[in-house]
């Protein structure tokens, strides 16, 4: 069973760095061009999220199970969302769906202040303990991210890393002026990546490629009465 288990010390060898650089080159070939994003993915030790025996998988461009029926996102997906989010250093970001914490690490490497919400209590506990061991310190929140995080709003950027049936109104409301929300919206099998930009009370939506994320749960997610499967 592939598992991401906390390790007391994260070894980052020459070999790991080499594999990571190869992954970065692959992402570049696949169309990721933002140098800050590529450099951030080049810094996060993705192998630390995997068991030793699974090292060879850590730097493949694939999603991977992390227990609790959840996955660590595919590096391309993480790079794509990070690029579309147009992150600048110092921005306050809300990430919905902490999962393994890998995406949160990438946002921290981009210089952001990161609030990350997870709905699943076990994943929340595991990641909250594990990320600081690697030196990554987002603010961890347990709760329903489909409602955003009103107490810490507004956010410069909001990133949803689970597939949503609709764009939750709360998330739009919690965007700062010129704020950007990146969210995959669609059915349970397939979602279109949307980027929504706020200017005053006007919201502009851009559409990108299709992806397949695990479902966003909660009030404005799949168990809140939305049925567009």
Binding site residues, ligand SAH, CB under 6 A = 70-73, 96-97, 99-100, 102-103, 117-120, 123, 144-146, 161-162, 214, 216-218, 221
Closest chain position to ligand SAH (CB): 97
Q: From the CB of 220, what's the least distance to ligand SAH, in Å?
A: 8
Nearer to ligand SAH, 48 or 217 (CB): 217
User: Which residues make beta-bridge pairs with 198?
Assistant: 203
Q: From the CB of 31, what's the least distance to ligand SAH, in Å?
A: 20
- CA–CA distance, 146 with 222 (Å, rounded to integer): 10
Q: From the CB of 119, what's the least distance to ligand SAH, in Å?
A: 4
What is the end-to-end Cα distance of the chain in Å, rounded?
Answer: 30
**How is residue 198 written in tokens?**
């706020």
**Is 229 considered catalytic here?**
no
| Look-up of token digits 């061009």 | 33
**How is residue 42 written in tokens?**
């080049």
CB 179 within 8 Å of CB 157 = yes
Q: From the CB of 41, what's the least distance to ligand SAH, in Å?
A: 12
The count of other CB atoms within 10 Å of the CB of residue 121 is: 10
**How is residue 135 written in tokens?**
């030196």
Q: From the CB of 43, what's the least distance to ligand SAH, in Å?
A: 15
User: Which residues make beta-bridge pairs with 164?
Assistant: 185
Residues in the chain: 229
Burial class (CB in 10 A: 0-12, 13-18, 19+), 226: middle
- CA–CA distance, 97 with 214 (Å, rounded to integer): 10
Nearer to ligand SAH, 19 or 72 (CB): 72
Choose the catalytic residue: 33, 39, 73, 151.
73
| Tally: H helices and E strands in the chain | 7, 9
- Which amino acids are annotated catalytic? 73
């Amino acid at each position: 069973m592939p598992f991401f288990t906390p390790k007391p010390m994260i070894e980052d060898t020459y070999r790991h760095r080499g594999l990571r650089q190869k992954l970065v080159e692959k992402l570049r070939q696949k169309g990721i061009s933002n140098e800050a994003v590529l450099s951030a993915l080049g810094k996060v030790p993705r192998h630390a999220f995997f068991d030793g025996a699974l090292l060879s998988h850590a730097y493949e461009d694939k999603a991977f199970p992390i227990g609790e029926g959840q996955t660590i996102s595919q590096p391309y997906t993480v790079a794509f969302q990070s690029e579309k989010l147009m992150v600048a250093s110092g921005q306050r970001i809300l990430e919905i769906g902490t999962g393994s914490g890998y995406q949160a690490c990438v946002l921290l490497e981009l210089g952001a202040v990161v609030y990350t919400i997870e709905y699943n209590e076990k994943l929340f506990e595991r990641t909250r303990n594990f990320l600081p061991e690697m030196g990554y310190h987002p603010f961890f929140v347990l709760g329903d991210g489909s409602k955003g995080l009103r107490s810490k709003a507004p956010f410069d950027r909001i990133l949803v890393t689970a597939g949503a049936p609709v764009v939750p109104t709360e998330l739009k409301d919690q965007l700062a002026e010129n704020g950007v929300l990146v969210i995959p919206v669609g059915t349970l099998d397939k979602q279109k990546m949307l980027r929504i930009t706020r200017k005053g009370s006007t919201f502009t939506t851009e559409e990108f490629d299709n992806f397949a994320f695990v479902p966003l749960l909660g009030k404005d997610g799949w168990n809140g009465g939305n049925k567009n499967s």
